[in-house]
Amino acid sequence: MLIIAVISTFLDQFTKVLVRRAISTGGTIRVIEGWFHLIYAKNSGMAFGMLPGWNHVLTFVSTFAIVFIFMYYRQLKPTRWMKISLGMVMGGVLGNLVDRVVYGYVTDFIQVRWWFIHYRWWPSFNIADVCICAGAAMLIMGIFGRSRSMDLSEQSKATSSSAPEDPRLFQSGN
């Protein structure tokens, strides 16, 4: 889990350094005109620009989330899937937390236009956000997959542990 968290944090911070050096605040590099741009946006809030100016509260929430992930991890016998997903979430939270502490805002730089929202621009985001969302999705799939497999194993145990049927029921009538 920690290796994935460190890799996620490093990739996030590395890409943000590149963006801060290459693009002026509010500037844009058009990678695929009208569909995929790199921008430099300062976000003092959270996802989708909600709660702007709440950096101190969000710093506390991020710190709490990291502590919670550690505590949750210690309570589990995590699978490899869970280790990867928790590592991605932790790395993403840590990547954005570093920005909040060092700069007072989070650097967002990925901007895409989606056809399913009537060709509107999706709010800008960063690698940390991708890690948090992907890790959370993996975590949910892992939890539901694990509970489903536990249900199936309990069901098969119940079936196999039931009393065997009387073999005389299946004998031909003589």
pLDDT over 80 at 101, yes or no = yes
pTM for the model stands at 0.78
- Catalytic-labelled residue, pool 12, 99, 129, 151: 129
Which residue do the tokens 């909600």 mark? 50
pLDDT tens digits, residue range 43-97? 998 887 788 888 889 999 999 999 999 888 888 888 899 999 999 999 999 999 9
DSSP secondary structure letters along 36-88: EEEEEEEESSSGGG-STT-HHHHHHHHHHHHHHHHHHHHHS---HHHHHHHHH
12 given a catalytic annotation: no
pLDDT tens digits, residue range 36-45? 999 999 999 8
- Catalytic-labelled residue, pool 12, 99, 108, 166: 108
151 given a catalytic annotation: no
Which residue do the tokens 């799939």 mark? 141
The predicted pLDDT at position 116 comes to: 64
